């Protein structure tokens, strides 16, 4: 059975198998002159064969394959794809599909948004991270000057088709990477999802609830003027950590960074009197049970602060979105580096 949601102008279809989308795929792509498909070498091996089978043979797919990993989310990589599109004479009557995780969908959206001022764009997310967060809501972009997502544009895809059968290609670490965003959605906006997560293993209904949280928030505030900022819980610290990890060759996935971010930011919320001790402890305990703790003992707080100050969300003070209870989040909470350091040290003692 297909679930159908709307996020801004994008139709989002969710089902357990790609085969369920047979009709939708046919009607979405039959009228394009050519279909360009962006994927990385992993999705080429693990997902493209299934994808190709579900695609009508009459539609010609031209593939663009990139290296896997965050390093591909760069202006240089975007430029190479634009060159390939120009060399192939891609026009505005063609479209681009991203088949992959968050890196492929962020980069693909960025390329599609700017190529000839925008060609139609579709996403088939293959990772849990992309299914529950990265592919949803029109955020596209690349990392620049080693700052995560610092160049980008909001560009709504035509359609997103989520087939959870792709999840079987993920290893445990990739799974948990996406799961981190689902926990975030529960903490900021859905206490019933939090209860489900505490007592169940991941399942399809949990994914649907998580997607529904993202859809509701983005539909209320596509341009992130207010409410959408709640999605940044865990990300102020998390993005700084990821940028730090990027230049220090530390192996850290986005979800791993935001789990740390959520714990430190829960501490910050408690210190500021926004969150009770009991709920802060519940958040920290659940996250430490469900996720492996990252070892930050070698992280230099001074270097981390430089990234915090560069984060595109900040002006001169550091801006956070912090939970006030399970299912509710307050935006525009400002803190000094001293206050952040105090909360970070508490996390370090936990590891
Ligand atoms: N990933 C956060 C957002 O889409 O706003």
Along the 351 residues of the chain, how does pLDDT read in single tens digits?
999 999 999 999 999 999 999 999 999 998 898 999 999 999 999 999 999 999 988 888 999 999 999 999 999 999 999 999 999 999 999 999 999 999 999 999 999 999 999 999 999 999 999 999 999 999 999 999 988 899 999 999 999 999 999 999 899 999 999 999 999 999 999 999 999 999 988 999 999 999 999 999 999 999 999 999 999 999 999 999 998 888 888 889 999 999 999 999 999 999 999 999 999 999 999 999 999 888 787 788 888 888 888 755 555 689 999 999 999 999 999 999 999 999 998 887 765
Contact 33, 162 (CB under 8 A): no
Residues 42 and 101 in one domain: yes
Side-by-side strand order, sheet with 10-15: 3-7, 10-15, 159-163, 120-125, 95-100, 35-40, 61-66
Per the residue annotation, which of 148, 159, 209, 228 is the catalytic one? 228
Q: 46-49: which pairs have CB atoms within 8 A and are 24 or more residues apart?
A: 46/126, 46/169, 47/99, 47/100, 47/124, 47/126, 47/166, 47/169, 48/99
- Asked whether 239 lines ligand 1 (CB < 6 A), one says no
Strands (E), the chain: 3-7, 10-15, 35-40, 61-66, 95-100, 120-125, 139-144, 147-154, 159-163, 318-325, 328-335
Q: What angle do CA 99, 103, 105 make, to 5 degrees?
A: 45
**Does the residue 135 lie in any domain?**
yes
Return the CATH number at 323. 1.20.1090.10
Per the residue annotation, which of 174, 235, 280, 330 is the catalytic one? 235
Output the CA 74–ligand 1 centroid distance in Å: 19
**Does the residue 249 lie in any domain?**
yes
Q: Does the annotation mark 185 as catalytic? A: no
Q: Which atom of ligand 1 is nearest to the CA of 134?
A: 1
Residues 191 and 117 in one domain: no
Residues 115 and 221 in one domain: no
In this prediction, residue 56 carries a pLDDT of 87
Phi and psi torsions of 272, nearest 5°: -85, 0
Residues 7 and 154 in one domain: yes
Q: Render pLDDT for 101-121 as a digit per residue (tens, 0 to 9).
A: 999 999 999 999 999 999 999
- Asked whether 238 lines ligand 1 (CB < 6 A), one says no
**Does the residue 93 lie in any domain?**
yes
Minimum CA distance residue for ligand 1 atom 2: 231
Q: Does the annotation mark 26 as catalytic? A: no
- Asked whether 133 lines ligand 1 (CB < 6 A), one says yes
Listing DSSP states for 122-181 in one string gives: EEEE-SHHIIIIITSSSEEEEEETTEEEEEEEE---SEEEEEGGGGGG--HHHHHHHHHH
Output the CA 59–ligand 1 centroid distance in Å: 32
Q: Does the annotation mark 139 as catalytic? A: yes
Minimum CA distance residue for ligand 1 atom 4: 137
Per-state percent for the chain, helix, strand, coil, to nearest 5: 55, 20, 25
**What 8-state DSSP symbol labels residue 322?**
E
- Cα–Cα distance for residue pair 196/64, rounded to 1 Å: 39
The pTM assigned to this predicted structure is 0.94
Q: Which atom of ligand 1 is nearest to the CA of 231?
A: 2
Query: Rounded to 10 degrees, what is the CA torsion of 48, 51, 56, 62?
Result: -30
Output the CA 235–ligand 1 centroid distance in Å: 9
- Asked whether 137 lines ligand 1 (CB < 6 A), one says yes
**Does the residue 212 lie in any domain?**
yes
Residues 140 and 187 in one domain: no
Domain span at 190: 181-350
Return the CATH number at 59. 3.40.50.1970
- Cα–Cα distance for residue pair 86/262, rounded to 1 Å: 42
- Total domain count for the chain? 2
Residues 296 and 152 in one domain: no
Place of tokens 């595109």: 312
Q: Which atom of ligand 1 is nearest to the CA of 217?
A: 5
Q: Does the annotation mark 228 as catalytic? A: yes
Per the residue annotation, which of 50, 120, 139, 148 is the catalytic one? 139
The number of residues in the chain equals 351
**Does the residue 85 lie in any domain?**
yes
């Amino acid at each position: 059975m297909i679930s159908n949601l709307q996020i801004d102008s994008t139709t989002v279809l969710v089902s357990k198998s790609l085969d369920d989308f047979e009709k939708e795929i046919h009607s979405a792509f039959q009228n394009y002159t050519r279909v360009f498909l962006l994927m990385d070498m992993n999705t080429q091996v693990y997902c493209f064969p299934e994808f190709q089978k579900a695609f009508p043979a009459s539609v010609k797919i031209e593939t663009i394959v990139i290296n896997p990993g965050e390093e591909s989310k760069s202006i240089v990589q975007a430029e190479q794809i634009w060159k390939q599109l120009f060399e192939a004479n891609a026009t505005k009557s063609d479209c681009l599909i991203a088949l992959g995780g968050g890196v492929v969908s962020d980069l693909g959206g960025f390329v599609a948004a700017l190529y000839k001022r925008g060609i139609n764009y579709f996403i088939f997310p293959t990772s849990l991270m992309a299914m529950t967060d990265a592919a949803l809501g029109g955020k596209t972009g690349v990392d620049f000057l080693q700052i995560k997502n610092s160049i980008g544009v909001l560009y709504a895809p035509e359609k997103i088709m989520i087939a959870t059968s792709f999840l079987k290609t993920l290893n445990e670490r990739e799974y948990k990477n996406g799961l981190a965003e689902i926990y975030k959605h529960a903490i900021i906006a859905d206490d019933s999802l939090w209860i489900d997560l505490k007592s169940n293993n991941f399942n399809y209904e949990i994914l649907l609830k998580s997607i529904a949280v993202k859809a509701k928030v983005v539909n209320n505030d596509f341009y992130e003027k207010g409410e959408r900022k709640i999605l940044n819980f865990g990300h102020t610290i998390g993005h700084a950590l990821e940028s730090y990890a990027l230049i220090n060759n530390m192996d850290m996935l986005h979800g791993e960074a935001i789990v740390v971010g959520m714990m430190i930011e829960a501490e910050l919320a408690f210190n500021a009197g926004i969150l009770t001790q009991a709920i802060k402890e519940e958040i920290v305990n659940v996250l430490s049970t469900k996720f492996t703790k990252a070892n930050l003992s070698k992280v230099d707080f001074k270097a981390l602060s430089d990234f915090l100050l560069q984060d595109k969300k900040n002006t001169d003070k550091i801006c956070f979105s912090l939970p006030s209870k399970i299912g509710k989040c307050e935006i525009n909470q400002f803190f000094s580096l001293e206050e952040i350091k105090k909360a970070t040290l508490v996390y370090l003692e936990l590891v």
